[in-house]
Amino acid sequence: MRTALLLLVLPLATVGCTPLDTGFQKPDTDEPVDTADTDTDTEPIDTADTDGDLDDDGFTPEDGDCDDDNIRVSPAREEDDSDGLDNDCDGRVDEEWSGFSVGRVDDNGAGSIIVLDTIGRDDDTVNLSNGCVPSWLDHYGEGWAISNGGAAVSVVDVAGTCTDLADFSDTEVYEYGVWGIATMPDGFGLDGIVLATTVTSLEGVAADGTVTQLASWVVDFEDIAAHEFAAVSAAVDPATGQVGLFDYFGGFGTWTPDGGLVVHRKGDWESPTLMTTSGAHRDGGGWYTQGTDATTGAMGVYQFDLDAGDWVLIEGWADDTWSPAQVAIDGDSGDFYLTANVSGIFPSVYRIVDGSGYAADFFRIETDYAGYFYGIATNYTHGG
């Protein structure tokens, strides 16, 4: 059995807020649709278009139109789950949200993955073999990839058979072990690669166990001036392949195969504002984290404002018996779901309805259960 969850020691400070940049683009309506056209030609509308929106659906490719030759494809469309198109341009084709996969670790060390449906029913519990522990998890083929207790990146099939792909337990090489993981979607040159954060680097783990370092940065817990970043979790925007890297002390970075690493906010361990262990990308736009205000201890969901270079509180609540672990987002509604552990009582998946102030248990185990929830990943079905 493996153990090794939270390894760093945390100092405290204050938090600042800036206005939310939702990233929403107003449709441009300056180009009326060919109203004078009375003939029966089959030419596309607006062939002389100069506003860059060829199909006149209100979005240019720069605005996020991922098919500028089809009005049923744009960020303003709902997804149709049977037409083979990514109607809403979130990088997922024919997707329908179907619930979550939740990593559970019992007090006796047994690891499992609970599969929840859209209203929080336990559809399945997959018990992991080989003493594997799902500290962080993401989808991998029909099963999952996990950060296995901080010591390995492992894959789990639907029957629960757990196989290590790559070992990260040698602290001479990986001082802090392996933390958050995320599976790269196909189409960005890293098909099937499991991204793994080691605090000091981003590593890519292939199906054959080969580990390739994708980025590294300066981690210096003696010298804050030299220190850059301490990334403990990763998430991917499936529309662009951009990777978000979430720092334990409130920093944030992005990485792309072509552009490399950009640190948008330094992780300040000397006077952190926000403490966090996971993050997620919302389908259609935005990087989010679950975190704790380092001064007040209040918990919240935050969005990263790339222009301001800071986190913006989206929803917050104060209950110091709660300890949020990780966050996932329902790609249909945008609501937030957090694994959380209530001191001495029970673990929960907590649901926060975006923009409503509503927050309550979505799923919990109440009867004679001792254990914790950790990793959480959003589940989708594809095709109607």
Binding site for Ca ion (CB under 5 A): 53, 55, 57, 59, 65, 67-68, 70, 73-74, 79-80, 83, 85-88, 90, 92, 94
> Min. distance of Cβ 282 from Ca ion in angstroms?
13
Closest to Ca ion by CB, 121 or 382:
382
Nearest position to Ca ion, beta carbon: 65
Burial environment of residue 74 by CB neighbours within 10 A (0 to 12, 13 to 18, 19 or more): buried
Residue 260 and residue 132: Cα distance in Å, rounded?
A: 32
Distance, CA of 215 to CA of 226 (rounded, Å): 17
**Shortest distance, position 383 Cβ to Ca ion, whole Å:** 9
Angle at the Cα of 77 from the Cα atoms of 74 and 80, rounded to 5 degrees: 115
70 or 161, CB closer to Ca ion? 70
DSSP per position, 164-199: EEEE---TTT-TT----EEEPPTTSS-TTPEEEE-B
Q: Could you tell me the smallest distance in angstroms from the CB atom of residue 135 to Ca ion?
A: 29
**Closer residue to Ca ion, CB minimum distance, 69 or 270:** 69
Closest CB to Ca ion among residues 8, 45: 45
Indicate the residue among 86 and 228 with the shorter CB distance to Ca ion: 86
Instruction: Give the nearest distance from C-beta 151 to Ca ion in angstroms.
Output: 35
Q: Which is nearer to Ca ion, 78 or 223 (CB)?
A: 78
Query: CA 157 to CA 167: how far, in whole Å?
Result: 18
Q: Is the dihedral of CA 159, 139, 101, 130 positive or negative?
A: positive
Cβ 379 to Ca ion shortest distance, Å: 15
Residue 149 is given by DSSP the state: T
* CB closer to Ca ion out of 94 and 247: 94
Contact 373, 325 (CB under 8 A): yes
Beta carbon of residue 281, minimum distance to Ca ion (angstroms, whole number): 13
The least distance separating Ca ion from the CB of residue 334, rounded to whole angstroms, comes to 14
Closest distance to Ca ion from the beta carbon of 215 (Å): 28
Show Cβ contacts of residue 213 under 8 Å, excluding neighbours closer than 6 positions.
201, 202, 203, 204
- Residue 328: closest CA among 176, 143, 118: 118
The helix/strand/coil state of 314 is strand
Q: Please, which residue, 149 or 185, has the CB nearer to Ca ion?
A: 185
What DSSP string describes 24-78? --PPP--S---TT--S---SPTTTT--SS-TT-SS--TTTT-S-TT-TT-STTSP
